[in-house]
Amino acid sequence: MPDTQITTTEQRKTAIEHALAQHSGSLERFRHWTRRIIYTPGVEDMAKICNAYWLIDLVASHQITPSVRAEEFQVWTLTVAADHTAVASADDGNGREVARQDIEFTDFPLDQIKLYLAEGTLLLPGEY
């Protein structure tokens, strides 16, 4: 029975990655409730599929820090461990970390996801 669950989990991850890879850019935007950022349909789909509007909130919440907000381009990476803990970190696109947050528990379905924040717009790498 465990093999079936692993296969199902892997199939779900593959299906999510495939769905998100279909996004290649759009002029449509969604405004985050904080009004600090806007985001693309790809990020909206990621939030819906992965039940992860909290990830958009996390990125937006870090924009109140002046040193983070000063970076016009940010690469946000969420890395999920096997024990369902995670680390969300942002760098300046050149590997210099500008923000980091440890997450005690998440049910985020992928092992890792990257999001770009470019001039106030949060997007999937394929939409950049």
Check which CATH number belongs to the domain holding 6 and give it.
3.10.450.150
Q: Tens digit of pLDDT for each residue in 28-78?
A: 899 999 989 999 999 999 999 999 999 999 999 999 999 999 999 999 999
Residue range(s) defining the domain that contains residue 64: 2-127
Q: Tens digit of pLDDT for each residue in 11-32?
A: 888 889 888 988 887 788 999 9
pTM comes to 0.87
Please state the domain count of the chain: 1
Q: Tens digit of pLDDT for each residue in 96-111?
A: 999 999 999 999 999 9
Secondary structure of the chain as H, E, C letters = CHHHHHHHHHHHHHHHHHHHHCCCCCCCCEECCCCCCEECHHHHHHHHHHCCHHHHHHHHHHCCCHHHHCCCEEEEEEEECCCCCEEEEEECCCCCEEEEEEECCCCCCCCEEEEEEECCEEECHHHC
Structure confidence at residue 117 (pLDDT): 98
Structure confidence at residue 126 (pLDDT): 93
Structure confidence at residue 9 (pLDDT): 85
Structure confidence at residue 1 (pLDDT): 43
